[in-house]
Structure formats: structure tokens, C-alpha cells
Amino acid sequence: MSRSLYLESVGREDEDNVRLRVSQLPCIIGRGRHCDLDLAREQVSRRHARIESGPDGLIIEDLGSTNGTFVNLERITGPVPVIPGDRIHLGSDEYTLIEGEQSARTRASDSPSASATAGHTVMGFTADPTGFPVQAPQFYELLNDELIAIHGQPVIDASGNVQAMTLRAASRHSELDAQHDELQHLAAQLGEEARLNQVIRQHALQAADRSGLDDYPLILTAHPAELDDLDLVLDELRTSLAQHARLELALEMQGIDDDLLGQMLEQLEHLEIQPVMALPDPRPGRLLELAIEYGAWVTIASHHDSGEIRTLCDALPSRLNQVIADRIDDRHRLQQLKRLPDIWMRGRCAAETTPIRAQP
């Protein structure tokens, strides 16, 4: 190889920056002893990524690693071109690709993708100083070690009676204080939505079974990203039904393609799992037609006008259907919605989320 390429570590607090030579192309990177570039790092898979020459320059590709490969803060899902100065994360470790003896610190600032994100901040993340999610290591530890607790969010009727329970997660990691929505946000930033929700469902059903929660339906959630592999999700649900036969299950879905949603609804009907569809708005449309056809429950954000929600209720003719007003965080709004007959309600002001504990 005529080019002198290196990966230089960036931002490690526990050691000096290290410059690793990419001695050949293609170059397999990982912590396996047969890799071309051996990285003995906890978050790095045995065969993590590959750098090789492409028709227009260098290409990096993730090799199915557990904790992902990122180029300029974006998780890659296929071969991606890279140039000197690009920031590469392998798991939670950051490197800069450099050529020859150029300074990684200088060249990294020249990368358009890197500079575009400088100073960008979202929940749990910062692009300053390294540009990589600062809570990513803790999140991956949580995910790999399944460090989650399960909480129940009651769904109540106008009289305050619990009609269903949504099972949600919270972090048990000592250095990551995150509730369900924050965990979902972190997972989305790192491309781990499917794995997170699978872990949540498994732990949720185990906790519910130990706690004897068999008096009302238990609502689990599925993320659109994991429904790309519909058979995998359905196999998981069949296994769950066999292991937790006494529990009555419901599955909440949103943001799914109509055709894929139709297939999912049909399969849930066969499995006798109640479908719960999150509607973006109360207006008639294909989603509402599918809900009526399959007797699905629907959730609708509580900020919509009460008259629109009432119209939505009237559009669902079957008693198999149920409307759940979601995310009720205002007591005045709660009182307004209680005046609507047959509405179920979910949210902080409707009923507090509480930990699920095993029966004594």
C-alpha cells in the first residue's frame, strides 16, 4: 500500500492519544487476534469494521458489530466513503482518519460533516469536544447488560379505573439517569431502536408475570425500525405468548407503512394480541380504516380538540375499538376529556407511572 494511513484516537481521558497504522487495504478492524488492526477495546466487536479502496477513494463498512460504526456522528449501515479528516467511531471510541504525518486535530476541523455538527446538542448528547454522544458508552452498557427496570403506566377510564397498563422502561445504569422516552431517544440516535425495544418487551413480560398483572391487557410497544423484519418480531411474540400464557397482551405501533401495518394487524389477529395504533390526527384516512377493519384500539394525542376526539370515537362503530387519549400532562385537559363518554386516558396527570414489583 503506497498511502500512509492512520487512525488516531481522540478524546480519551485515561490515556494519551494513540496513532494506529492502517498497514494494508483492505484492513479488518476488531478485537480478534486475526484482524489486521487489533483494537483491544471493550465496545469493539471481534470483527468490527473494514476499510478498503473503492473506485473513488477509501470506503469503510461495518461488519455487523454489536455497538456500531459511525462516520462523522452518523451510524453507517452499508459501505460509506471516507477521507482523511473524517471522524470515525468504533463502538464508543473516536478516531480521526489521517494520512501521512498530518495532524488529526487540524484535519478533523476541515471535515464539512464534522463542522456542521459542532456545538449541536440534544438530550444526553453533545458534539463538544468530541462530537460523539457522551452517554453512548453508558447506553451500550445498559443495552448489553440489560440494565433496565420496568414501570407500569396505567390507562384509566373516566372513573379512574385501570383498564389497561402500558409497560415502559427506565435505566438501572448507575451513570445513566433516563426514563423510557429518553432511552428511546438515545436508541434512535445510535440506531439501536430494535434491540432496545426487544429487551424492554422481554423484561416487561417477565416482570408482569412475576407481579401477577393478569387482570387487564398489557400494552407493549414496537418501533417501526424493527418491523422491517416482520417475521423476527412475530417469532418473538409467539415465544412470549408461550412463556407468559396467562397474560393478555396488546402491541402499540406507530409510523409504520400502511401495507406493512396491514400485514402486522392480520398476524396479531391470529395471535390474539390486541393491536394498538397511534394515529397522528383524528381525521378519517387509511389508518382509521385499518383500525376499524381489525378492531384495533387507537391512541390520539390529548392536545387535539375535544370535538375532534369525539368525532373519532363516533367513527369507530365496534365495541372492539377503543380510543385512548394519550400524554395527558394537564389537569384541566384531564377534566375536559373525562366528559367524553367511553374515552380511556393515559399520561402523567391521568395516572402516575410506578415500578412493577414481584408479588411477595
Reduce the DSSP state of residue 339 to 3 states and report it. Answer: coil
Query: What count of other Cβ atoms lies within 10 Å of the Cβ of residue 136?
Result: 22
At position 123, the amino acid (one-letter code) is M
Element (H, E) at 155: strand 148-156
The pLDDT, as a whole number, for residue 128 is 34
Nearest residue to 87 (alpha-carbon basis) of 103, 70, 99, 75: 70
- The predicted-structure confidence for 275-334, as pLDDT tens digits, reads as follows 999 998 888 888 899 999 999 999 998 888 888 898 898 888 777 889 999 989 888 889
Nine-digit cell at 126? 453533545
Nine-digit cell at 121? 446538542
Q: What percent of the chain has pLDDT over 90?
A: 45
Indicate if the pLDDT at residue 1 is higher than 70.
Answer: no
Least confident among 55-64, 115-124, 174-183, 331-340: 115-124
- The predicted-structure confidence for 87-145, as pLDDT tens digits, reads as follows 898 877 888 898 865 444 433 333 333 322 322 222 333 333 333 456 888 899 999 99
Dihedral sign from CA coordinates of 126, 192, 6, 18 = positive
The pLDDT, as a whole number, for residue 304 is 85
Q: Average model confidence (pLDDT) for the chain?
A: 84
Contact 272, 252 (CB under 8 A): no
Least confident among 65-79, 94-108, 182-196, 270-284: 94-108
Considering the entire predicted model, what is its pTM?
0.69
Give the helix, strand, coil percentages of the chain, each rounded to 5. Answer: 30, 30, 40
Indicate if the pLDDT at residue 207 is higher than 50.
Answer: yes
Task: Give dist(CA 189, CA 298) in Å, integer.
Answer: 27
Could you write out the three-class secondary structure of 255-295?
Answer: CCCHHHHHHHHHHHHHHCCEEEEEECCCCCCHHHHHHHHHC
The pLDDT, as a whole number, for residue 16 is 55
